[in-house]
Amino acid sequence: MGMVMSSQAYIIDPTVLLLYFIGNEDAKTVVENIIEEHAYGYILEPMLVELFQKMVEYFGYTVASSRLEAIKNSNIRLINVDFELIRDAGRIKASNPSMPMVYAYMIALAKKFNATIVTADTRFRVSNINIKIEYINIE
């Protein structure tokens, strides 16, 4: 891993990586920015499990395994859940009870790394939290 020349950072929704692997242009732009070290990329460990499961369903186990290996060998950083993240996500979830827990974790990571959340989920909306969200068009 080299030095990233940009201060841009992304929290990656697993669906964005799936879209990248099936050729979505918007997802490709974001992911290639990270791969080419023009931006930082972060994904939460449990979300990578979800991505792998979706890739197995979509591509089969062998292809999914090779794609997972490509992610492992890229400069997309895998973030483990720790007590600080649990506390931060729990606080966010407590003040937004209807929000899915995974959103709370992504928001906590976005705050920690001053990052933009990249997602294809247009339901991912926050009004009371100051973070940036970039939506990938799934067309």
Q: What element of type H or E holds 91? A: helix 83-95
| 73 within domain boundaries | yes
| 129 within domain boundaries | no
Whole domain around residue 36: which residue ranges? Answer: 7-122
Specify the CATH number for the domain of residue 71: 3.40.50.1010
| 16 within domain boundaries | yes
Over residues 74-117, the pLDDT tens digits come to: 999 999 999 999 999 999 999 989 989 999 999 999 999 999 99
Q: Please choose, from the candidates 62, 61, 60, 72, the residue with its C-alpha nearest in 3D space to the C-alpha of residue 17.
A: 72
Number of domains observed in the structure of the chain: 1
Give percent of the chain above pLDDT 70: 95
Measure the CA–CA gap between 67 and 64, rounded to whole angstroms: 5
Instruction: Kindly state the average pLDDT of the residues 36-47.
Output: 93
| 103 within domain boundaries | yes
Measure the CA–CA gap between 5 and 122, rounded to whole angstroms: 30
| 2 within domain boundaries | no
